[in-house]
Structure 1
């Protein structure tokens, strides 16, 4: 079932989602960064999920370390593209706007870190055999997942978005 809404409501949903994700991301990073290093790792699910604290000056999986200016520029471009995509596509599908808000909130969360923490992003969620990540990263992935599902559903239903 596709839920449609007015442009005003969709803009509110988009903005609130982005703001909530940004606040949640920054709040969790604030808490993690103010805990003494001696409490880490915190075992949440034995042998599977831990809370640790690392800083990352690169991209996903620690790639391209110490390229702060490039990542700030890329983040700003991505944020602008998200907003342009929101305006130009003007999809009146609630889930699409939720997903786009998640991606924007996550992008803003990591950008705030890069600007205020000398290029470092705090990562703290560690699933064994996977990269360490944060709330912003999680919602970027979840948001893109939602967007892809909405687009695919519409593509297969109508033959085009």
Structure 2
């Protein structure tokens, strides 16, 4: 192998490792913990962990129920999230970007093998919200869940005159 080929091979290998780390492969804890206890639910799409870190759920947005806002189905979304995760150990997985402008971790949350983010959409407590580059691998499945909830008038889709996810 000549020097140019060796440099190219090393460069491609490094790029492959970088791409694997950027995609949040199993065992990758570069963004934050892989498991944590949810100390409290902030709202339908945000929780606080027992170490004080906040986690914003990827690929979803729920109606607001904090900071003086009382959007239709906001309290229901918060309550459902609370029933699912508060005080319990959750698994966290990450995507391309680890944190948002508010220094919250951006994660997919699961409990007992159930994808909480997807469940919030499926049950009509959340709308799909993709902020690229995150969500590229899962957006189609989430949009299918949202469409089914809309068609079935599930949750906020049947209860609210105006859906205020944004």
TM-score tier, shorter chain, comes to under 0.3
Higher helix proportion, which one?
A: 1
In terms of fraction of residues, the more strand-rich structure is 2
**Bigger Rg, structure 1 or 2:** 2
TM-score, normalised to structure 1, is 0.26
